[in-house]
Structure 1
Amino acid sequence: MKMKKWNEVYKMLETGALDQKLELTGCRDLDVARKRTMHVLEEFKKCFGTEEELEIALCSAPGRTEISGNHTDHQHGHVLAAAVNLDFLACAAPNGTNTVRFQSEGWPMTTVDLSDMEPQENEKETTASLVRGVLAQMEKAGYQVGGCDIYAVSSVLPGSGLSSSAACEVLLGVIGNHLFCKDELDAVTIAKIGQKAENQYFGKPSGLMDQTASSVGDAVAIDFGDPSAPIVRPVTADLEGLGLALCIIDCGADHAALTGEYASIPQEMGKVAQFFGKEVLHDVREEEILALLPELRKAAGDRAVLRALHFYADDKRAVEEADALQRKDKETFLHLVKESGRSSWELLQNITPAGAVEAQDMAVALAATEIALKGKGACRVHGGGFAGTLQAFVPLEDVEEFKKNVETMIGEECCHILSIRPVGGIVLLLD
């Protein structure tokens, strides 16, 4: 474990000695990044009353964007996702006790007693559950964990579909790996630890896409054919080299009361699979569905059939998009993004909630984005759908005008210009 003293790290920031590490996080302005990191150090010292010679760790974990594979992961299909240049940044240090004190700026202090590492019912859906869950997995792996103090700030946009929860889990994993596991855990293992914490301790049955994208960095093509051992293929996603900017656009709709809409997608896909005696669509061939389409429509319903057809199409596209990015084939990549968006709208039907007539925020946002693109680039729904955000790949020379036009039609500050971050979870003080 390589640790530096608080005052040494602060001096490194002042002199620019950490600039190369900060650049890896995808920051657009090094001066801003230095000041933000100094702020974290200062607030850590203030919050926990520590001495300037205390040895600390400085860690970062990014949010993520889903590029392809819309609702394919829960059917054990393929996805393509990437880390983005918004992150959780934290200063951390062992405190010699059996208690973790986690202060996320702007939120109440989270305190976790590690004397009991089992899931706690009263901690479900809280940060405390993630702290306990991550460290519990490390203890089960044979490492001696202990108490620590953590001060964190986050630039991952809440409710943006960029998975702030996965970024938090990976951050905790990176900190725990550095403080207690001698940095022996690889990025995919840290992602799996985060997923288990979210599933077993937080109480949310998430897949592994979010944590893997955050932990590994750049873009990752993931095959969930065996969800217990997903195949992760790193992909170089040089969007800037392709002349593209990544934009996330908030459609302005609220996710509240949409749980049933989200749940209906895996339920209906599962209903199609069950018609063939299987649990997920990965285990059913598309040809079988087409051969028995009349019977299947009666048994599962037309929307379920259409959603199943979307799965097969987007499952293939996720692999093809990863290949196109890897070989820097811009035209094929953009064509596939458009096809994925069209399939989500027409077959998956996760743009407008059932029965909605007057309020169709996502549909209007997509239409406005298409107009603002003026036939260039591509856009699609981002993540779960029905509300939240959409994703656009915009020519670099048009991005400012695009942002202005979209925000005129949808709302101020709705368009966020991001980039793909080349690294995942990282200890900024490691060589």
Structure 2
Amino acid sequence: MKRIQAKDAFLLGSLNEKIKHIYACGEDGCEAVAQRYADAIDCFASLYGEEREVFVFSAPGRTEVGGNHTDHQRGHVLAAAVNLDVIAVVSPNSDYKIRVKSQGYPEDQVDLTDLSVHEEEKNTSQALLRGIANRFVEMGYPVAGFDAYTTSQVLSGSGLSSSAAFEVLIGTAINTLFCGGKESAMKIAQVGQYAENVYFGKPSGLMDQAASSIGGFVAINFANQEHPQAQQVAFDLNSCGYALCIIDTHASHADLTPDYAAIPAEMREVAAYFGKEVLSEVPETQFYAHIPELRKAVGDRPILRTMHFYQDDRRAQEEALALRMKDFEKFKQLVRASGESSFMYLQNIYSAEHWNQQAVSVTLGLISHFAQSLADKDAMAWRVHGGGFAGTVQVFVPQNHAAAFVQAMNAWLGDGSCHLLRIRPVGGIQVAG
């Protein structure tokens, strides 16, 4: 549709029902969302022309709910999309170029006649655009040029995976514009992972992209690397009187790359002892039967991290089942157990090399202190969120205590540290056009 039609559809309320569904919000939340889209349409017009046919897309950030560092061992994960997203206003062009202007950043351009890996582009969004386009071309689709303006609520470094949301956003747009919408949400996620691994230069797993692309609570089994199995888990967090909080610990990721890389490396070292690539291929009973020899061969920390893998891989499946059975008390117990396992066995709460910088540990301790002040001391559940060592912490808190909790955490850690979120029921989606 034309720009002015798209803008009117948002501002006149034609898309309110769709907005309420996508963002899990009420009527009172529609106006701000609609205005954000209208503003993005205006920004697109000022950059690329007012008479263009436009399409509007959205892709959410994600939160890891269960399965801490299990995905790269082809295990099980429970994740969820959240109501913070990246949106794009997109229009095809005839230049055979991709142009993307993201709010606050210079415009990225990719010439579609050259889709090879550019080493100088590593760690840039331009690399992601080139990689995503290349993968769709390899799949046989006639990807042509387009112009896009994007704006994000998924702040970089928030632990909600802004890069995966961007990848899913672009993949969803290309799938709509040039593939007839034929590709599945999981395939779009895999395209994003390919671009991140090969073009961007980050050896990430698939969990972030899959959660963003599919939406809702998502139980994922990564056993089949080419065809992971993903299933939405129907559960309304709001209906049971709980809110999801993500807390920014304000810790720096600088100098932590060796700590992150060591976790999958040590798990694979244990797997290699048994002639396997990843731990999901090694029976748990076989692992425990060889503990004495393993300790001599690989040392103790890889052993502890392997213990965590088996336990948290099982917990991720049990958490999904608890939500399906509407057993939120069981779910909270499993979340707390996952957090304890990450601290004790996985050891991704702080870096041993930077032992005097323990922002995540302090944050977990403060949450525990707050929970002890409640009449029901087991009302809350919390754990490290994602990769660990720095970044964010995840908390499930009763709605009647949410305001006091946010106030307390912000007082301890700084204003804006604690974010109240909603679980978004849909992933990457065409909103209008």
Matches within 5 A, 1:99-248: 99-248=97-246
Q: What CA deviation, in whole Å up to 9, does each residue of 1:304-340 have, x standing for no partner?
A: 1110000000000000001111121110000000000
Instruction: Tell me what 1:397 maps to.
Output: 400
* CA-to-aligned-CA distance 1:75-113 (integer Å, 9 cap, x gap): 111001111101111100001111111000000010111
CA distance in 2, matches of 1:142, 1:265: 37
For residues 108-164 of structure 1, what are the alpha-carbon distances to aligned partners after superposition, in whole Å with 9 as ceiling and x for unaligned? 010111111222222221111111111222222222111111000000022111111
What does residue 412 of structure 1 align with? 415
Shift of 1:166: 0.5
Partner of 2:6: 9
The range that moved more, 159-168 or 26-35, is 26-35
The one-letter code of the counterpart of 1:269 is M
| CA positional deviation for 1:237 | 3.0
Residue number in structure 1 paired with 2:340: 342
Q: What is the letter of the counterpart of residue 154 of structure 1?
A: S
Q: Which residue of 1 aligns with 2:37?
A: 37
Q: Which amino acid aligns with 1:5?
A: K
User: Which AA in structure 1 matches 2:50?
Assistant: E
**Which moved further from structure 2: 292-301 or 215-224?**
292-301
Q: Which amino acid aligns with 2:47?
A: C
- How far apart, in 1, do the equivalents of 2:302 and 2:366 lie? 29
Instruction: Give the SS at the match of 2:306.
Output: helix
For 2:240 and 2:214, locate their aligned partners in 1 and report how far apart those are by CA, in whole Å. Answer: 22
Q: Which residue in 2 is equivalent to 1:21? A: 18
1:355 to partner: Cα distance = 4.0
User: Per the alignment, do residues 203 and 357 of structure 1 end up closer, same or farther by CA in structure 2, a change over 3 Å counting?
Assistant: closer
How many pairs does the alignment contain? 425
How far 1:394 moved relative to its partner?
0.5
Which structure 1 residue ranges, 4+ long, deviate > 4 Å from structure 2? none
SS of 1:25 mapped into structure 2: helix
Where structure 1 has 5 or more consecutive residues not aligned to the other structure, the ranges are none
CA distance in 2, matches of 1:132, 1:381: 33
Relative to structure 2, which stretch is displaced further, 370-379 or 147-156? 370-379
C-alpha contact 1:61 1:89 (8 A) present in aligned 2 = yes
Residue equivalent to 1:383 = 386
Q: Match of 1:241, SS?
A: helix
8 Å contact 1:27–1:33 — kept in the other structure? no
Cα distance between partner residues in 1 of 2:165 and 2:343: 28
1:82 maps to which residue? Answer: 80
Letter in 2 for 1:254: S
User: Aligned with 1:59: secondary structure?
Assistant: strand
Displacement after TM superposition at 1:51 (Å): 2.6
Residue 298 (structure 1) aligns with: 296
Per-residue CA distance 1:381-408 (angstroms, 9 max, x = gap): 0001010001000011110011111112
Deviation string for 1:167-193 (max 9, x for gaps)? 000000111111111112121111111
- Answering whether residue 368 of structure 2 is matched by residue 370 of structure 1, we say yes
Task: Report if aligned partners of 1:246, 1:419 keep a CA contact under 8 Å in 2.
Answer: yes
Residue identity in the other structure for 2:276: K
361-370 or 227-236: bigger deviation:
227-236
1:428 equivalent in alignment to 2:431: yes
2:65 maps to what in 1? 67
Report the secondary structure of 1:138's partner residue. helix
Q: Please show how residues 91-102 of structure 1 align to structure 2 within 5 Å.
A: 91-102=89-100
User: Who is 1:311 aligned against?
Assistant: 309
Aligned to 1:325: 323
CA–CA distance in structure 1, aligned partners of residues 12 and 371 of structure 2: 42
Quote the sequence identity (%). 48
* 8 Å contact from structure 2 (residues 24, 422) kept in 1: no
Q: TM-score, normalised by structure 2?
A: 0.96
CA distance in 1, matches of 2:141, 2:73: 34
> What secondary structure does 1:380 align onto?
strand
Are the equivalent residues in 2 in contact too, given 1:237–1:420 (CA < 8 A)?
Answer: no
Alignment of 1:264-283 (within 5 A): 264-283=262-281
Tell me the CA shift for residue 27 of structure 1: 6.1
Asked if structure 2 preserves the Cα contact closer than 8 Å seen for 1:238 and 1:325, the reply is no
The Cα of 1:210 is off from its aligned counterpart by 0.7
> Normalized against structure 1, the TM-score is what?
0.96
